[in-house]
Chain A
Amino acid sequence: MNEPAMLHEEWTDRLSDYLDGELPPGERLALEEHLRECPGCRGVLEQLRAVKVRAAALGHDEPGPHVWRSIAERIGHPEVSADDPRDELAARRARKIRFPWLQAGAAAAAVLVLGIGIGRMSKEPGRLPTARVEAPAPGTPMTGDAYRVAVAQHLTRTETLLTSFRAEAAGGTVDASAVEWAGQMLSTTRLLLDSPAAADPRLRTLLEDLELVLAQIAALPTRPDTPSATHTEVDLARRAVEEKQLLPRMQTLAPAGSPVTLGES
């Protein structure tokens, strides 16, 4: 009674070698003959095969960011990041949309940096001036100077937009790119308004008026079958620019792109 059990165990012990192709030909044939007669060994073999398959399918996990930081320190290059630039780009885009540092009331830890490239109003369809707004690393202290520079750049860009818009609107039509640009400027205007540094009443009023006008322009229809906004809608937006005296107010607050003077008058 013991012999069959012992033999069975010997066969079982060879199942992994059989599975891995490690058995010599003679032993392999003998085992295969045994397998035909032994459902128990066939069952174990299938279980071992399942383990092998499962092991091969195991995935990898990624270490936390602190691991690279420690490595970078130890190799003498703490300034080098292991972040994928593509991830960083995606993160920047996400920040442009969500601006969580403002929504969370942590605006004091942020600085708005408006893109330097102040573009002109393009006449080429699809070619818009950059309206880049980036968030610095969390914890960056908000400074009055940084805010003033950001506002001045924004006002200069908006002035360029409104000047071009006013000229085009006089002819009764507006290029679709101006409408798109106004939408971008609208977002930046809201950001500047949301900042706690926007305490100056003159600036707040100007930004609020700008927001309304930019919203009007951004809402002008730009469907392909209606390349130009209707005369009435364009005229309403143009009149809003004039009635609110936006251009002279912007020039007064930020002459020739200089940093705005806040709370000093």
Chain B
Amino acid sequence: MSAPPHDPGADPLIANTVAVGGSDAALAASGDAHAFARLYREHAGRVHTLARRMAGDQDADELTQDVFVRAWEKLRTFRGESAFGTWLHRLAVNLILAKRAAHAKRRSRDAGDQALEWTPARPVTPELGMDFETALKRLPDGAREVFVLFDVEGYRHEEIAEMLGVSVGTSKSQLHRARMILREHLR
């Protein structure tokens, strides 16, 4: 089951948590593009990496752009009840998930996505970060999304279930599935 598309700007969670937390966020909300550039500099890495892990390398740049453009458009609704980073990250997650169908199609077309049938290559050690990233990339979409959101980004199952439009139980089982696959790459 695919999750219903999310419009980050219409997301009640976002609307309730937007906040002008820092001075740069306040300045950017008033149209100061230099302040927005500083916010970008501070948060672009996390957003870009999230996009890459959730949607794949090819779409990470485009998604990062979309997230920050959307943030610029929605900054006026940012009311200071949470940190700007929290607001931005939630917006990023929702936007990435909203576009995942198109990106999943491209990933499948480009890579012949055989998530579970991938062949273990050479022995992988915990020290080889990129190998772990590669294994993460090859997880089934649902398991990868939950794993990234829970284990990497620190969201709770209740939040993930809401974002993905699944039950809490599904979120938990997908997480366990992802971990059981990934553990093979830490041997």
Contact = CB atoms under 8 A, between A and B. Distances in A.
B45 to A, nearest CB: 4
A51 B68 CA distance: 31
A21 B151 CA distance: 13
A71 B183 contact: no
A29 interface: no
B34 A80 contact: yes
A84 B37 CA distance: 9
Interface in A87-131: none
B52 interface: yes
Contacts of A68: 37, 40, 44
Contacts of A59: 49, 129
Contacts of A77: 33, 36
B130 to A, nearest CB: 11
Interface string A51-80: 110111011111110111011101101001
Contact of B172 (A17, A50, A62, A63): A17
A242 interface: no
Contacts of A64: 61
B105 interface: no
B10 interface: no
Nearest to B73: A75
Contacts, number: 104
Q: What range describes how many residues of B lie at the interface?
A: 35 or more
Contacts of A71: 40, 65, 68-69, 72
Nearest to B40: A82
Contacts of B38: 82
Interface stretch (B15-23, B77-85, B174-182): B174-182
B61 A54 contact: no
Contacts of A22: 157, 172
B160 to A, nearest CB: 12
Contact of A13 (B132, B133, B176): B176
Given A51-B179, A62-B44, A75 B65 contact: no
Give the dominant DSSP class at B's interface: helix
A245 interface: no
A230 B101 CA distance: 80
B183 A51 contact: yes
A48 B172 CA distance: 14
Give the dominant DSSP class at A's interface: helix
B151 A72 contact: no
A55 B175 contact: no
Contacts of A75: 33, 36, 69, 72
Interface in B162-187: 172-173, 175-176, 179-180, 182-183, 186-187
A160 interface: no
A252 interface: no
Interface string B37-56: 11011001110110010000
Contacts of B41: 82, 84
A16 B67 CA distance: 32
Interface of A: 13, 15-17, 20, 22, 44, 47-48, 50-52, 54-56, 58-64, 66-68, 70-72, 74-75, 77, 80-82, 84
22 contacts: A16-B179, A20-B150, A22-B172, A44-B183, A50-B186, A55-B152, A56-B152, A59-B49, A60-B46, A61-B49, A62-B48, A63-B45, A63-B48, A64-B61, A66-B61, A68-B37, A71-B40, A71-B68, A71-B72, A75-B33, A80-B36, A81-B37
Interface of B: 33-34, 36-38, 40-41, 44-46, 48-49, 52, 60-61, 64-65, 68-69, 72, 126, 129, 132-133, 147, 150-152, 157, 172-173, 175-176, 179-180, 182-183, 186-187
- Closest 9 CB pairs between A and B? A55-B151, A77-B33, A47-B183, A16-B176, A60-B45, A63-B48, A82-B37, A60-B49, A80-B33
